[in-house]
Amino acid sequence: MKIHDLIQGSPEWLAHRSQHFNASDAPAMMGCSPYKTRTELLHELKTGIVPEVDNFTQDRFAEGHRIETLARPLAEEIIGGPLYPVTGTNGELSASFDGLTMAEDIGFEHKTLNEELRSVMSEQPELNTGHALPLKYRVQMEQQLAVSGADEVLFMATKWDGDTLVEQRHCFYQPDLALRQQIIDGWKQFAADLATFVPVEVLPAAVAAPVIALPAVSVVVNGALAVTSNFDLFEKKMREYIAGLPKKPSTDQEFADAESAIKILGDAEGALKAAVNSAVGQTATLDQVCRTGDMLRELARTARLALEKLVTDRKAAIRLEIIQTGAQAFANHMAALNERLGRPYMPVVPTDFPGAIKGKRTVESLQNAVNTELARAKIAASAIADKIDTNLKTLRELAVDHGFLFNDVSTIVHKANDDLTVLVKSRIAEHKASEDAKEEATRQRIRQEELDKIAADAKALADAAAVTPATTAPPLPQTLDVPEVLAIPVATGARQMAPRIIPKVIQESAQQTSTPALNVGMIAELLGFQLPSTFISVLGFDPAAKIHNSVLYHETDFVPICKALIEHIETVCETAENHFSNHSKEHSA
């Protein structure tokens, strides 16, 4: 956290706040502040125009700072150390602390005790938990923890009579990382909305405009049955008045004017009825006056009912327009996220625009409610898109050559990244194991087919009683090729090796009665390296048969061949050891 040497309320402090996203504004940004809407906060930060503070509000602020100062020693006693008011930032996020310890591990937040806080805080601190506090307070403190990195915040609410403490309640608030992420995502979306926000004129609450009242209805019947009325003037004025009424109210001001006109027309309707009744009461022969009065009363009634219906319909239409505008804006946001991801991976993200505007009556409050719900839904959708993006990157890294294993990518990208990583590795490992098993099965099948072929060929020879005599091995050189520096004498054919092991081998070989089926390739596969048939002859083992180009031995010859090979290697090693030992002595001399 970067600490700024600022005094709360000073011009420098106010200038600092205008350049950062502040913890005290976070509830408004999240749509949970009772004092300021999200739209109002957008307007303030976009224009830099902050509503003027009246004397009452200024006095309330001053009283809040006074009792905060009185409460700080109580908080220091609970914490067990001094607290210092401080303003700090972490990137674009800012927070002003009522108090912070020198180690910056515990913060202090003070509020005036009210009924809302009494309902969730006991006078017994051990019964209180910070996560039971209203959301507006938790959001502010969570941003304070995000900025400072502190472990907790002491939340205290007090009531004073002058300088005398009347009541005090407190609890400790610990970090809520899920809420913190919501706040970070919320400011991210707020910044995007702020960049495109177009300020509109902020108007005071709509009040019906003053209008010239319709003339009073007058009907006088004299004793000579002469009727005097102002119906002609009244009719002219009423028709002019009706013509000037709004035909399609859309703003709060126009709705207020229309609703005022409904009342005026209703009053006129009643006055006309009363005038006609009065005239009828004075004489029963005033047919013209009655018809005219009835006509004017019906005119007033018709205009009033039409205007009432117009106001009702327009309010419903405007509510629908605002809801549809919010829904379309969210649909556009979802389309942009899918375009960013490359495919329509985004799931359905629920919105509740009708629920958001429930109980709202003015156009401004309707619009703000929809905008707040739109921002909430955008934040949730963007967080999902970020998770999907991370999972797609993981897939590209881990499954670079195994994309065919993940045809359900549109489903698995919604998993937690750790779970997805385990799934990807597991599938690839299972696939490799399956492929290895298939390859091993193929090798075994080929080997079995080769053995079956050899056995079939041998059986065919036996059935024909035409066993091919063993092919005599080619003449062997008197010495094997070895480097001149060694000049190690080696065995020069089966006859020279015979005195060591061949008699036993020949004896074992002489007892063979089975059909030869062991070829050079099978011997190499068992040993792990190639052993030419010519060298096998050097070891003292001539082929038992030869079919086509395949040299065959008895299967029981394999162990004696291995033993002869081991003895040959030991002999060569012993000779080499003696040679190098003598060579070394000569050089030493």
Listed in sequence order, the DSSP H helices in 283-358 are 287-341, 353-356
* Residues 524-582: tens digit of each pLDDT: 888 888 888 888 888 888 888 887 777 888 888 889 999 998 988 888 888 888 877 77
pLDDT at 487: 38
The neighbouring-strand residues paired with 155 are: 109, 171
pLDDT at 363: 85
DSSP-derived 3-state class of residue 168 = strand
Q: Extract long-range pairs of 322-329: CB within 8 Å, 24+ residues apart.
A: 322/353, 322/357, 322/363, 322/366, 322/367, 322/370, 323/353, 323/354, 323/357, 323/370, 325/370, 326/351, 326/353, 326/370, 326/371, 326/373, 326/374, 327/351, 327/353, 329/374
**Arithmetic mean of pLDDT over the chain:** 82
* Residues 377-414: tens digit of each pLDDT: 999 999 999 999 999 999 999 988 888 999 899 899 99
Q: In this predicted structure, which of 8-12, 341-345, 354-358, 497-501 has the lowest mean pLDDT? A: 497-501
Per-residue confidence band for 485, with pLDDT thresholds at 50, 70 and 90: very low
Distance CA 413, CA 571 (A): 65
Distance CA 2, CA 94 (A): 9
The neighbouring-strand residues paired with 157 are: 111, 169
pLDDT at 79: 95
Per-residue confidence band for 11, with pLDDT thresholds at 50, 70 and 90: confident
Surface-to-core class of residue 569, CB atoms within 10 Å of its CB (0-12 exposed, 13-18 middle, 19+ buried): exposed
